[in-house]
């Protein structure tokens, strides 16, 4: 079953750069910043380092996220994502790529459990009607809806 595409047009608003707190949780830090600034729709990116990492992989057949935790010290090679609304509150949906001391790379869907060693976050606010997330029957995921 193919669902129809959803698109919306936005103007660029403020652009924020933020150094997240050492020792804090990466996902919580992004979400807290957006709540503090009352951001309802945005594009986010980040670089930095983590002292622990937790990501997930979505099992499409079973429709569940499989959590993967890595212990050690890692570089944030790339973090990209967006902020939109879920149940009226800002929700950050991001994916992260991390690298270890041997040059190995891993990544996935960003979860709580990524301990910030250092993080430089960029948030580009999108001006327009914010998208709301809701249950998508075709995927089992909380995706944008009209």
Instruction: Output the pLDDT for position 2.
Output: 63
pLDDT given at position 91? 97
pTM: 0.94
Long-range contacts of 29-38 (CB under 8 A, 24+ apart): 29/116, 29/119, 29/121, 30/83, 30/92, 30/94, 30/121, 30/123, 31/90, 31/91, 31/92, 33/121, 33/123, 34/83, 34/90, 34/92, 34/123, 35/89, 35/90, 37/123, 37/125
pLDDT score, position 5? 87
pLDDT reported for residue 4:
76
pLDDT tens for the chain, residues 1 to 146: 566 789 999 999 999 999 999 999 999 999 999 999 999 999 999 999 999 999 999 999 999 999 999 999 999 999 999 999 999 999 999 999 999 999 999 999 999 999 999 999 999 999 999 999 999 999 999 999 97
For tokens 């960029």, the residue is: 122
Q: Set out the domains of the chain in order of their start, with CATH numbers.
A: 12-128 (3.30.1330.80)
């Amino acid at each position: 079953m193919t669902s129809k595409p959803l698109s919306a047009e936005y103007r660029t608003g403020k652009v924020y750069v933020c150094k997240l707190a050492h020792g804090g949780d990466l996902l919580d830090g992004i979400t807290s910043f957006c709540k503090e600034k009352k951001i309802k729709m945005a594009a986010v990116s980040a670089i930095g380092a983590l002292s622990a990492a937790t990501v997930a992989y979505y099992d499409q057949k079973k429709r569940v996220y499989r959590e993967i935790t890595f212990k050690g010290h890692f570089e944030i090679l790339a973090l990209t994502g967006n902020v939109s609304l879920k149940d009226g509150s800002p929700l950050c949906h991001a994916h992260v790529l991390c690298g270890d001391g041997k040059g190995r790379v891993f990544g996935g869907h960003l979860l709580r459990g990524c301990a910030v060693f250092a993080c430089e976050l960029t948030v580009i606010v999108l001006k327009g009607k914010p998208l709301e997330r809701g249950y998508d029957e075709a995927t089992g995921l909380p995706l944008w809806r009209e």
